[in-house]
Structure 1
């Protein structure tokens, strides 16, 4: 009996150790009023990308979205502003690329109860302030998805090589329910059982300027 109890305790410890940590969403605040933004379009949209990942009980899917336009505003070698316009019509699924499954996933993502791309073809991230923490940046900006705009802060780095400026964020989590993205969400629907899709989505930006 004592041996069985010890075995159960060991198994419990093992499962606890390998349990995935709970994903925490970026903190959402009211959108920050912006007096003006730069109109310069200096982002190379062919070299810039937003990556995404969504999860469900049976696994996860990941992919990319291209930028439609944007700019990185610099002053004395430091980032002071910028706007990234994400073209939601370019959503791609990578883990099932080349299959009908990828088309089905993209169809869900573009649908009216997910990103509703027909009505909201773009999303934007507009930088409102930047704090330099040693080699890392804390970048605050207004994130617009569908008809909701909230202020978030994400960690990022910025580098320059051969005249090309690269903005690269760390992966950050967004609770899609906060932006009225409803498909398969337990925040909006009951009795989904194991057919739900996690509200938390992972994103990261890589944005490069034109040479």
Structure 2
């Protein structure tokens, strides 16, 4: 009996360690900053909401779940290869779970939990917003910074992106990065707020990847 218990404990620890090890780097997070203003020479592009999407992945000791969130709208101003300003609205009510088939009850249960007050509370906070505050080259990468407002809390985050312009279309794709949900007051199952969770906790880190397509306004 003792041997079986030790094996199970070791397996849970291994899965948790593997999950943490495989996660992307956390975005630099700090207090909100002044929003960037584009020069008059910048070209403005409007988000194509049918072709822009954010993918997410959340972790717990026994595995992970993943899905998507839609971009509701927004604009971005480009000057050459530089992002000068931008503001985007994220439709939190469109949270979907993609790792569980929709035909299974677990899909609706998880989606409902994420949409409820324990997590993103989409009734009280139906949208999130990202406003550009800066863009710089750092260690060979283009770093986009902006104020992310979610569930009534605002923090500034910085993460690597690649941008390209082809005629009247521009694309912005981020590297996969993580944010610490506890900094946006998302408390459920978080060790940052509760000490008695044992192995029932859910990691604070949420992986995100931004895929934006925009057309010349």
Specify the TM-score bucket, using the shorter chain as the normaliser.
0.7 to 0.9
2:194 to 189, 192, 210: 189
What residue in structure 2 maps to residue 25 of structure 1?
Answer: 26
Displacement, 1:194?
A: 1.8
1:171 to 167, 176, 181: 176
1:84 to 71, 88, 91: 88
- 1:80 and 1:36 map into 2 onto residues whose CA distance is 7
1:75 to 72, 79, 87: 79
Displacement, 1:210?
A: 2.7
Structure showing greater Rg: 1
- 1:75 and 1:41 map into 2 onto residues whose CA distance is 11
What residue in structure 1 maps to residue 49 of structure 2?
Answer: 45
Unaligned runs of 5+ in 2: 1-13
2:121 to 93, 116, 121: 116
SS at match of 2:211: strand
Could you tell me whether the CA contact under 8 Å between 2:37 and 2:85 is conserved in 1? no
What residue in structure 2 maps to residue 127 of structure 1?
Answer: 132
Displacement, 1:135?
A: 6.6
- 2:114 and 2:192 map into 1 onto residues whose CA distance is 17
Q: TM-score, normalised by structure 1?
A: 0.83
Displacement, 1:172?
A: 1.0
Could you tell me whether the CA contact under 8 Å between 2:81 and 2:163 is conserved in 1? no
Flag the structure with higher strand content.
2
Could you tell me whether the CA contact under 8 Å between 1:51 and 1:63 is conserved in 2? yes
- 1:117 and 1:41 map into 2 onto residues whose CA distance is 28
- 2:139 and 2:36 map into 1 onto residues whose CA distance is 28
In the alignment, structure 1 residue 205 sits paired with structure 2 residue 210: yes
Displacement, 1:157?
A: 0.5
- 2:140 and 2:48 map into 1 onto residues whose CA distance is 24
Could you tell me whether the CA contact under 8 Å between 2:70 and 2:92 is conserved in 1? yes
- 2:90 and 2:188 map into 1 onto residues whose CA distance is 20
Unaligned runs of 5+ in 1: 1-14
Q: TM-score, normalised by structure 2?
A: 0.81
Displacement, 1:161?
A: 2.7
What residue in structure 1 maps to residue 156 of structure 2?
Answer: 151
Q: 1:185 to 1:77 in 2, by over 3 A?
A: closer
SS at match of 1:194: coil
